[in-house]
Amino acid sequence: MNKPRLIYFDAPVSRGEECRLALRLAGIDFEDVRIKGADWPAMKAQTPYGGLPVLELPGHPPLAHSIAILVLIGRRHGLHPTDDFEAARHEGVMQHVEDLRAAMAPTFDMAGAEKQAAREALAADYLPAWGAAAERNIEAGPFFGGEKIHVADLKLYMAVRWFSSGKVDHVPATIFAGYPKLMGVHDAVRDHPGVKSWYAKS
């Protein structure tokens, strides 16, 4: 292995895409390994914890769990706070995004009326509470920690972008529209030159 490899599914979404964006913003030349769904079952047990993304760095065992990957990239490349308390605050909001994904996850295996009821219940209660909690933890903006982009912003961006896309059935695309700081983080990441350059490449 000559250069870092980021292994994820073949889709520009979620935990894998936020790690790709972090590597891009860090200026790291990496191999963007995209796994087809059909190949995953045979690979799953070979990964550290049975999930993707996995980051492979020359000279190290594979690293899993998106927060660990993001924090490592961030610490090494100026995309995670150097102050330990502020760093922990950023790790907290990243866990907040993981909590959101965990709340949504059971609905992926549902269909029909069951899925609709579960999603509408989340949209009525959990999702607004999630947005309000994110909002009150964002300081002056435009990013989570202020003027500078960090890896935590990438994780917030991917979460908000997912809902704003309108592709989450039975949840209004405007679910987070009432949280201007949260939407501000989304917009600031979307408009960041490094992020724009990643999407311009394809």
Ligand X SMILES: N[C@@H](CCC(=O)N[C@@H](CS)C(=O)NCC(=O)O)C(=O)O
Shortest reach from residue 62's CB to ligand X, in Å: 12
* Of 66 and 183, CB closest to ligand X: 66
* Of 15 and 90, CB closest to ligand X: 15
Which position's Cβ is nearest ligand X?
Answer: 51
* Of 26 and 64, CB closest to ligand X: 64
Instruction: Please count the CA atoms within 13 angstroms of the CA of 92 that sit on its side-chain side.
Output: 13
54 phi, psi to nearest 5 deg = -130, 135
What whole-number distance in Å separates Cα of residue 66 and Cα of residue 23? 12
Angle between helices 180-190 and 127-137 (to 10 degrees): 80
Shortest reach from residue 55's CB to ligand X, in Å: 10
Shortest reach from residue 64's CB to ligand X, in Å: 6
Q: Which residues bind ligand X (CB under 6 A)?
A: 14-15, 44, 51-53, 65-67, 98
* Of 66 and 107, CB closest to ligand X: 66
Reference 137, options 107, 192, 99; nearest CA is: 99
70 phi, psi to nearest 5 deg = -65, -40
